[in-house]
Amino acid sequence: MAISENEIQSVKQRFGIIGSAPYLNIAVKVAIQVAPTEMSVLITGESGSGKESFSKIIHSLSTRKHGQFIAINCGSIPEGTIDSELFGHEKGSFTGAHEARKGYFEVTNGGTIFLDEIGEMPLGTQARLLRVLENGEFIKVGSSKVLKTDVRVVAATNVNLLGKVETGKFREDLYYRLNSVPIYVPPLRERGKDIELLFRKFASDFAERYKVKPISLTDEAKDVLVKYRFPGNIRQLKNLVDQISVLSTDQKEITADVLRNYLPQEKSLPALYSAASSQDISEREILYKVLFDMRKDVNELKRLVLEGIGNPSRAAQIIKDNPGLFSEVPDAKNEQEPVVLNIQSNNVPADQGEDEDVQDITHESADDSLSIVKKEKELILKALQKNNNRRKYAARDLGISERTLYRKIKEYELED
């Protein structure tokens, strides 16, 4: 089915999509083409790029347009209740289930469900969702009766789902079932002059709402705006325009210097981890990786020390080859003079076997690994005690989501 430019522009105007970047037009075109079918759609794109708008296009142009449309953020529902939310539950099926409840898949029968942040869905719930997609069947929590539903699923993610599949955090069969038709929503930094159009639109909306003169940009300021990366995408741009509109009461034409004062400094991880960040690695996981890499370096140092003990020639060569690993080491030019490496934890006799040394290092590495788990458990307990077991505030102190904290509490059996 050929889609004309006029049709694309008409749909963009209807759903408030501003811009004409090539990737954006392709995404709109695919949404229009797939809407009349019953195929599952996976929308990918960064947070704040406008993925939900495309799910509404698909629903509104489909044969289900008179049915119900529900948007659900999988990442905002605790792991312990998401099955109940999606599929419903029977009375008494768990603590607090005082009456039976219909889930979204039952309520939305004949309509469309938009599952945002699908990558955050627990594995058990993924299995239930796969059954709905394949057979249109589901079972309420606490029931054994199989129910039928006719729901179209449109999913979205801002993470690399294939990466999650490779690490066992997302079902491969569900990924390919959802990804019947992929739609890629480009980030704001890939949309060129669209950023200027959106800036003017948000400035005009603000001015109309508060009955003030809209702000504008000089040519130099426009260049600064377009070159900025906008990690928060459209959501960040809108907040920026509102902020400038409120605070720049005396100056309505914004210069490049003024604009730079409002743009936050972009922070990035060290180059070693820049690639990893795109694979949904949390700050805590990065910290663990740094700790493990440090432990590896220490073990390498220990190995070199063990090689050098009792063998002055070998010790001298090690020091020469690894100048950055050793400091304040006696001069080893005279090979007859023994070299003393002052590492107290490894005062090993010269005749001790190499295999035993390696075994000790391996055993110590295992202890180090266990200590990290222990420290994490202690931190969670302290955060819960500090906040009187209020998990929302404990999660905030720990810098993790409430859902992750809930999972850790179950994993470490801290529920009491």
Q: For residue 149, give the CATH number of its domain.
A: 3.40.50.300
- The per-residue b/e assignment along 258-281, b for 16 or more CB within 10 angstroms, e otherwise, is bbeeeeeeeeeeeeeeeeeeeebb
Please tell me the pTM assigned to this model. 0.64
Question: Do 392 and 295 share a structural domain?
Answer: yes
CA atoms within 13 A of residue 384's CA, in its CB half-sphere = 16
Domain check: are 333 and 366 in the same one?
yes
Domain count, the chain: 3
Residue 391's pLDDT is what? 83
293 and 258 in one domain? no
The torsion of the CA quartet 129, 134, 135, 138, rounded to 10 degrees, works out to 0
45 lies in the same domain as 138:
yes
Tell me, yes or no, whether 385 and 344 share the same domain: yes
Q: Which residues pair with 157 in a beta bridge?
A: 44
Q: Are residues 176 and 218 in the same domain?
A: no
| Ranges of the chain with pLDDT below 70 | 1, 266-372, 416
Cα 18 from Cα 193, distance rounded (Å): 11
Shared-domain flag, residues 206 and 332:
no
Which pLDDT score is estimated for 275? 40
**Three-state SS for 309?**
coil
Host domain of residue 227: 191-262
CA distance 11 to 17: 8
DSSP 3-state assignment of 275?
A: helix
Count each helix (H run) and each strand (E run) in the chain, helices first: 18, 9
Backbone dihedral region for residue 17 (phi beyond 0: left; psi -120 to 50: alpha; all else: beta) = beta
Q: Do 376 and 228 lie in a common domain?
A: no
Question: Given this model, what pLDDT does residue 225 score?
Answer: 96
| Residue 163 sits in the same domain as residue 104 | yes
Q: How far is residue 140's CA from residue 105's CA, in Å, rounded to a whole number?
A: 10
Measured CA to CA, the distance from residue 84 to residue 121 in angstroms comes to 13
Between CA 251 and CA 219 the distance in angstroms is 16
My answer on whether 405 and 310 are in the same domain is yes
Yes or no: say if 111 and 55 are a contact pair by the CB < 8 Å rule. no
Cα–Cα dist 163/150, whole Å: 30
User: Which of these, 236, 256, 232, 252, lies nearest to 244 by C-alpha position?
Assistant: 252
| Residue 144: CB atoms within 10 Å | 7
103 and 35 in one domain?
yes
Containing 230, the helix (H) or strand (E) segment is none
DSSP structural state of residue 346: G
The DSSP bridge partners found for residue 148 are: 137
Residues 33 and 3 sit within 8 Å (Cβ to Cβ): yes
Specify the pLDDT at position 265: 77
Is residue 130 within 8 A of residue 124, CB to CB? The reply is no
Please, how many CA atoms are within 13 Å of residue 142, restricted to the half-sphere of its CB? 18
Same domain for 303 and 158 = no
Domain assignment present for residue 267? The answer is: no
Name which of 233, 218, 188 is nearest 24 in CA terms: 188
Structure tokens at 105: 């898949």
